[in-house]
Each structure stands twice: as structure tokens, then as C-alpha cells.
Amino acid sequence: MKPIHIGLLGVGTVGGGTYTVLKRNQEEIARRAGRKIIVKMIADKDMDKALSLADSDVTITTDAHEITKNSDIDIVVELIGGQTIARDLILEAIAHGKHVVTANKALLANHGTEIFAAARAKGVIVAFEAAVAGGIPIIKALREGLTANRITWIAGIINGTANFILSEMREKGLSFEQVLAQAQKLGYAEADPTYDIEGIDAAHKITLMSAIAFGIPVQFSKVYTEGITQLTGEDIRYAEELGYRIKLLGITKRVEKGIELRVHPTLIPMRRLIANVEGVMNAVVVRGDAVGATLYYGAGAGAEPTASSVIADLVDVTRMQNADPMHRVPILSFQPDLLSDTPIISMEEVETSYYLRMQVIDKPGVMAEITHIVADHNISISALIQKEASSDSDRVSIIMLTHLTVERNINAAIVQIESLSVVMSKVIRIRIEELNN
Amino acid sequence: MKPIHIGLLGVGTVGGGTYTVLKRNQEEIARRAGRKIIVKMIADKDMDKALSLADSDVTITTDAHEITKNSDIDIVVELIGGQTIARDLILEAIAHGKHVVTANKALLANHGTEIFAAARAKGVIVAFEAAVAGGIPIIKALREGLTANRITWIAGIINGTANFILSEMREKGLSFEQVLAQAQKLGYAEADPTYDIEGIDAAHKITLMSAIAFGIPVQFSKVYTEGITQLTGEDIRYAEELGYRIKLLGITKRVEKGIELRVHPTLIPMRRLIANVEGVMNAVVVRGDAVGATLYYGAGAGAEPTASSVIADLVDVTRMQNADPMHRVPILSFQPDLLSDTPIISMEEVETSYYLRMQVIDKPGVMAEITHIVADHNISISALIQKEASSDSDRVSIIMLTHLTVERNINAAIVQIESLSVVMSKVIRIRIEELNN
């Protein structure tokens, strides 16, 4: 099948991430989309940046119009940002019959009605998964995964900068100004952080989610917006004492009188999952009348997380071009004739870490015997605890946590340990997963 | 546009939920799908159940073959369960050119290869969002939302019965046997709970997720499966002391040698979001090389949550039948000419609860004055705390939590409170969201 041709407008953080991931995972992506997705042209004011990033077969230009009007381009990806030039380019791409993928929440919140109408009139797609909550496929969940529901409400931590600031204020007891300065130094906040700390960025995003959830036009001007600049460490502490965390939430709710659309700092009970989302991560809770509450969590910003959403849209658009329904969205995601034959490995070959518990006779040398066996099998111990056994006074429980090792090693060590005369029980073994990378 | 005709096989818990939600939300669903989705026929051995559930325009039969061979049916929904009759009916539906939507994880884990091959050969879709993690649109996230990524691993709490048992053991200090009996009484565990407590149900589901994530054939026989029956309160306590929670996890991981595929109790660090998923809820963590870690949380079972996923698949299949790409997946989910004109209500009309903090002079009668004003505005107080102010000794901070009230009332109360001579600061106001219903 003929490859899909992409024209990339802008190779800043997200543009660069998009090109990089498209290249790195091109084979996997092509297996899923049913066709190759190729960046044919890149436009950026900074030609040097584009030249250093892209392969020689990509046409680089400083004139974005060369892309939006180019008959060889199927999809235009707008990653310039801003609301003037980007709007003109998107409308021009649409006018020339090209699909558009964008991450531009500000533009869509303010001009979405006009842009979507133009796309409909022309029969092209405008996709914007990357505009809301970075890599989390929340737009897809709202637009497709939850179509059975009358959505009741959505509440989201959708600005990582603001959430990072609130996390730091709480964890380190610093003031808003102190943490803002730190965030800027770390690159988590812009030199001009207004959109983030005044809640405007969150307002852009909740507007888009509200439109999809409730089937209403995009209405950014109606969002009540209040940022985090007035929050103090005092309130964060009192909230904590009362059992609450303070987060900047974007909220939209269907009520009797109409639809609420608001952004503001909010106390949330500590026992809610979303109250425990810290740092630059995002999370969105959606409640539907059939499914109940659902939560989606992930990286809300960053080159590759946002690129993940841009590319998800590219694959979506590509799949929709495919002639037959079978190849549009393959049952198992991958085009049927391209399943891989990577083997499932046996449990013995799995590498993980372990919690072991055993009951032993309480006498000198027992601990040494056991730790010796463990070491013999190339297993390192990360924690070792002795507990009084519940009944007999001459018995104790030993609890051991190990570092990563192959299951085969643990199996062999357990067999040996259980054969010791001082070991009075079978060895309980429960695997550990740190789930961090 | 001509309505899509559904044939429903089975009106048990999920079948009944599917019919109910399709009916209740038919207008919203039609607005999204671009066509009406109508249940034309229902098959169930228990005709009485079907007759009491369905409207008179639905044809009821005890013979499922009347549906699978019926030229008037576009999509067959298999919600019978089991691996023999269900398999025959699904293959028959495929042979007659019908798309299939199913929740049958056991059948697909064991016979998926055969069924998917038959569907491909015939050019029809087999969709199974409802087979994994109930209402959470995880299959869609893996198959579409994360297509940019090489998936590194997936770890999921995907059996609510087992998770409920572990939560109760931990929270109430009861034994496995005690909690199992309780779970059966509450309907959270079947009379024969083998599939749930031995990890087999979770193994079915992780098999399906593994196939989609890694583009490999469905290989249920290769899953290492270990349930929760050997876990004791002792281990749950020790794990907690060491900073871990024990959950039954389905895990699949891409490693150098191949792919891991396993189900077993696992210690997870308490600070991980997924470690805090309790009761019958499900959660799946997916890590991709571009997006990083993402988490999806929601109800893993139940009539309406599972129906939500069945219907999401019905809408997907319906949309794919639409001739032009524009109407396949509408930009804002709803068919463009059918946007609603529900108004965005002003902030003054929003009803929520509030945290208020103010600095006052510490003398008798001040609290009474303030609470009097609050009551005058029809606001109930849920908590009231007095704190020593940081500096002056004649000042104290009053912190007040209110029950639900309209913002207009709080605004008016605040104006009055701030006008009191004993109130020495502006009233800090932060809204509260319980996020529970």
C-alpha cells in the first residue's frame, strides 16, 4: 500500500519528538497502520534545527505554505503553537483537502468552532489527542471508548506545571514563589508561566473535553478560570489535616440547569486516587452513567509523550483511509499478516525480585546458613527481618526481600533452604514488582 | 441513515445491562454513531427473562441460530459465555458475514486464533473490549491510543473478585476463607470461584492484552498462572510493614529473550497508584517507550460497566460502516449536525462545597457572628476549626468546611463576613470536590 505522506510544521519539542518516534518505531507503526507513515516535508523558521534532526530524504523549508498547499502531502501536523499563523496554516491545509493533526489547545479552544466547521465542509479530519493531557489517550476515550454513556462529569489534573508546583509546596513546605522559580529552572515552567499558573492552559483543555463529552460547541469564553497564584502553604497544610489535597482541577459537569465549565484550585479527599497524582503527571476522571467512574493517568507533557498522541492520531487517520473495514482497525491492532513470532519465555527465565518467608528454629548460625545458600545462587538480599513466630517460642519467622534474579535461581535456592533441618516450614515466595521502568 | 440491527445472544447480567443502556441512552448513542443502533432479536434459553426485559418490537427466540443466520442482523453480540456453544455461534455468525461483539475472554484466550482467522478471511470484525477490565476502554487504548509505542510492559489488576478478597483481608485482618465466604454472599464471587481465585480469569485477559500489545498470536497455554489461595494475613501484614501491598497482577513484559506472560500475587510499593486500587475495581498500567507509564482505572465488572464496553464496540463497528471518513469518527464525537445547545451555566449557579479561611480577633461572640451569617445564607457547616494565627496573639484563624451550596450564596456570605470589624483578612475560599458520584 502506498505510504501516507506527512508534512510537519514545527520541529520544536513536540515536533522533534514526533519525528524521532516515527523514525524509531517506524516498523511497528507501519505494522499497525497497514502502511508506512513517512515525513516528507518539514517547515520551521530554524532550518538548522530541522536539518540536524531530519534524514536527507526529507524536504526542509522555512515556508510552511509549501507544505499546506502541496498535493503530495496527505496529513499536515501543526506543532507551531500560537493562534495566528497556526490558524491560517490549518485553515489553508483544510482548504487544500488535507487532514490535520495538532496539539494546539489554545487555538482550538478559541477557534475550534470555525476550524471544525471548515473541516466538515471539506470532508477532512482534524484530530487533537495531543492537545489534552499529553500522552494519555483521553480524547479517544471520550470520543469512542465511552460512547455508551451519558457523561455526568469530568475532573482533571491537566496542567503539569501547576500540579508540580502544588506537589512541591506540599512536600517541601515552600512558598508558591520559591517553587515557581525552581520549576522554571528545571524547565517545568516557562519563562512566562501565565497560561499555566493562571489556569488558562487547563481552561483550554477542559473546554475541548466538555465539547466532546456533552456534544456542545467549543466555548472557551465561558470557562470560569482561577489559577494557583493565591494559594499558600497554610491552606495546603490545613487541607491536609482535614484529610484533603489541593489540586488545580479542570471540571465540567452536567447539571439540571446546564453545563458547568470551570478551572480552580480544589480540595479533594486524600483517599481518591486522583488526589495522589503528583508532580508533572496528569490524570482525568470521567464519570458516565453506565460505566461509573474511570480514571486515565500518564505524562501530560514532554517531547515523546505528546508525540505518542500525535502519532496515535496519524495512525487513526491512516487507518480510516484504508478501503476495507478489516484493515481499518485490525482486531489485534497489527495487520493480520504481520504477527510476530517472538516466543513466550518460561517462568524459570523470568527475572524479578522476591519476598520470601520461612519458619526456622531460633538458634545461632541459622541466618548464616540461609544467607549463604542465597548467595551461592547469585541472589542478593535487599532486606532481612526476623519475627517472633506466633506460637512456639523456639521458632522465628525470617522474611527476606531479594534484588532482581532469575526465577530459576530462586527455585533452586528454595529447594536447598527447605532441605535444611532447621527450616520448619515451606518457604513462602511472593514476587515483587517495583513498576517504575 | 438505515439503523444497524443487533442480535443479542444471552440476556444474563451483561446482556440485560446492554439492552438497558442501549435503550436508556439511545438518542445520545445515535447522535454519536450517526445511525440508530437497534436490538432486533434476542436469544436466551429463558424466554421469560427476555420477554420481561425487552420491548414488544424485539423478536425473542430460544434458538440462537435464528439470529446468527439471519440476513436482517448486522452485528451479533455474544454474551452467553462458555467455550462450546458460544464458539459455534460466533463462528456461524462470522460465516454468515456478521460482525461479532463479545465479552468472552475464556473463549478468545483459548480459541482466539481460530476465531480471528475466520473473521479476517470473511472480512468481518470481532471486537472484545468488554472481555478485559469491564468498562475501562483498555483494548482501545492498546490497539489505537498507544500505537506510537513499543510497549515495554503491562501490569493489571484485572480480576475484581481476587482484588476484593485481598482488600478485605488487609483492611479487616480476616483469613482468605472468611473473606471468600463473605464475597460469595455479596455476589462478588461465584459459587464456583475457581477461575477468579486461581488466577485463570486474569490469565485469559492478560493473554489478550499481550497479543494486542506485542503483535503476537493469542497464547493462553503459555501463561504462568498462580492464584491467591495460598496467601495469608501474615504475609499481607509483613508486606505492609515493608512498604508494599499485595495484589493479584496479570503481567506481560517484553524482555531480551522474548515475552513474559504471567499471573501471580505480587508485592507492589505502596506509593504506586495501582497499589491503592481496592475492592472490585480494576486498573491496568501500560508502559510504552514514547509515552512512559499510563494507567487506566474503572469498574472491572458489573452489568452496566461491561455493557458500556459492549456498546463502545457496537458504535465503533457502526461508525466503520459509514461511507465517508468524516462520519466514521466525528471530530467531536457527535455527528456534526447534531450538536446540542445546552447552555454553559455561570459560576454563580454552580453548586459545590467550600473551604473558607479567615483571620479574626480572638474574642467571645466572633464565631457566633460568622456562623450566623453563614446560616442566614442557607449554608450548612460540616467542619469548623480554630487555629492560632502565626503572629499576633489576639488573632486566630478560623477554618470552615461547608456542605453543598450555590456559589452565589457563598459569595454573598463572604461579602458580609469581610465587612465585620472583627474579621481582619479577606476570606480565602477554595472549592471542594468529593468526586464520588
**B14 assigned to a ligand binding site:** yes
pLDDT of residue A147: 94
Spell out which residues of chain A touch residue B21, defining contact as CB-CB under 8 Å: 148, 290
Same CATH topology for B138-299 and B349-432? no
B341 near A CB under 8 A: yes
**Are the Cβ atoms of B290 and A25 closer than 8 angstroms?**
yes
pLDDT of residue B327: 53
Which of A90-94, A185-189, B88-92, B273-277 shows the lowest mean pLDDT across its residues?
A: A185-189
- Once rounded to an integer, what is the mean pLDDT over residues B216-225? 90
Residues 391-420 of A with CB under 8 A from B: 397, 399, 401
CATH topology for the B349-432 domain: Alpha-Beta Plaits (3.30.70)
Q: What pTM does this model have?
A: 0.92
pLDDT of residue A135: 97
Per-residue pLDDT at A327 exceeds 70: no
Residue B337, C-beta contacts closer than 8 angstroms, at least 6 positions apart: none
Per-residue pLDDT at A338 exceeds 80: no
Q: Nearest CA of chain A to the CA of B351: how many Å?
A: 9
Residue A289, classified by CB atoms within 10 Å of its CB into exposed (0-12), middle (13-18) or buried (19+), is middle
Query: For B239-291, what is the HEC assignment?
Result: HHHCCEEEEEEEEEEEECCEEEEEEEEEEEECCCHHHHCCCCEEEEEEEECCC
pLDDT of residue B274: 97
pLDDT of residue B345: 87
pLDDT tier, B406 (very low <50, low <70, confident <90, very high otherwise): very high
Which residue in B has a C-alpha nearest to residue A298's C-alpha? B294
pLDDT tier, B158 (very low <50, low <70, confident <90, very high otherwise): very high
B4 near A CB under 8 A: no
**B10 assigned to a ligand binding site:** yes
Q: Nearest CA of chain B to the CA of A291: how many Å?
A: 4
CB nearest to A297's CB, from B135, B273, B355: B273
Question: Which is the catalytic residue, given B98, B205, B247, B253?
Answer: B205
B191 near A CB under 8 A: no
DSSP of B103-162: --HHHHHHHHHHHHHHHHHHT--EE-GGGSSTTS-HHHIIIIITTTS-EEEEEEE--HHH
Which residue in A has a C-alpha nearest to residue B225's C-alpha? A347
Q: CATH classification of B4-135+303-338, choosing from 3.90.1720.10, 3.30.930.10, 3.40.50.720, 3.40.50.300?
A: 3.40.50.720
pLDDT of residue A97: 96
Per-residue pLDDT at B323 exceeds 60: no
A216 near B CB under 8 A: yes
**Are the Cβ atoms of B308 and A293 closer than 8 angstroms?**
no
Per-residue pLDDT at B58 exceeds 60: yes
Spell out which residues of chain B touch residue A246, defining contact as CB-CB under 8 Å: 430
Any idea which residues of A carry the catalytic annotation? 205
Q: Nearest CA of chain A to the CA of B301: how many Å?
A: 9
Q: What is the predicted ipTM?
A: 0.92
**Are the Cβ atoms of B29 and A336 closer than 8 angstroms?**
no
Domain ranges for chain B, please list them.
4-135+303-338, 138-299, 349-432
Spell out which residues of chain A touch residue B408, defining contact as CB-CB under 8 Å: none
**Are the Cβ atoms of B137 and A141 closer than 8 angstroms?**
yes
**Are the Cβ atoms of A320 and B325 closer than 8 angstroms?**
yes
Residue A212, C-beta contacts closer than 8 angstroms, at least 6 positions apart: A139, A142, A143, B332, B333, B334
Residue A206, C-beta contacts closer than 8 angstroms, at least 6 positions apart: A154, A156, A158, A223, A250, A251, A252, A261, A262, A263
Give the model confidence (pLDDT) of A277-324 as tens digits.
999 999 999 999 999 999 999 999 999 999 999 999 999 999 887 755
B298 near A CB under 8 A: yes
Give the model confidence (pLDDT) of A370-402 as tens digits.
999 999 999 999 999 998 866 667 899 999 999
DSSP state of B188: S
Which of A387-391, B193-197, B214-218, B328-332 shows the lowest mean pLDDT across its residues?
A: B328-332
**A13 assigned to a ligand binding site:** yes
CB nearest to A29's CB, from B147, B315, B324: B147
pLDDT of residue B187: 87
Name the CATH superfamily housing domain A138-299. Dihydrodipicolinate Reductase; domain 2 (3.30.360.10)
pLDDT of residue A337: 58
Spell out which residues of chain B touch residue A397, defining contact as CB-CB under 8 Å: 234
